[in-house]
Chains A and B, each alone.
Chain A
């Protein structure tokens, strides 16, 4: 069974940094592209970032470029999101999501999310 468990969420001041982690199990992690998708309270879904299975390709949503960095450790079956220069509008539930073997494949499996709150 595919399992994705996020951790690292919390409260941070504007301008601060936070690192999210996602522990994956139940599948061959290195074979799959992985994503972060976020959802602000009471709002819709917003794609944050994508990383290819070998980690060689990374892509970001426009409002995240230059502030967020996605990475993975295939030896540890783990996905990460380093978030810097955080803004109040980054407050959201951040989901770790499994993509596909092809990086443009849609979002097949979702974690339960890690809550990030940016507030002074």
Chain B
């Protein structure tokens, strides 16, 4: 079955450590997106990539980095520069009509 895989579902890290969140898709979609969601809030765009080897900053890119070396993969690194990294992180692709979301990774940094 085609879809988006985000692993792990829950991730715990100590403050000051970088952490990389995985996003893999087998939908053959070109465009991929990373969103962040805080409790009771809507989603905010971190980074997006419309094609391999190209990506752009979203609205809240500070403290994050991404790469897009393969069409199937769009990993997000949460760096120690991100002041409030604890959040629910969602990866998405574009189907041509709508965005298709993965199940999300809940990151807790203490």
Note whether A and B form a binding pair.
no
Binding site for B on A (CB under 8 A): none
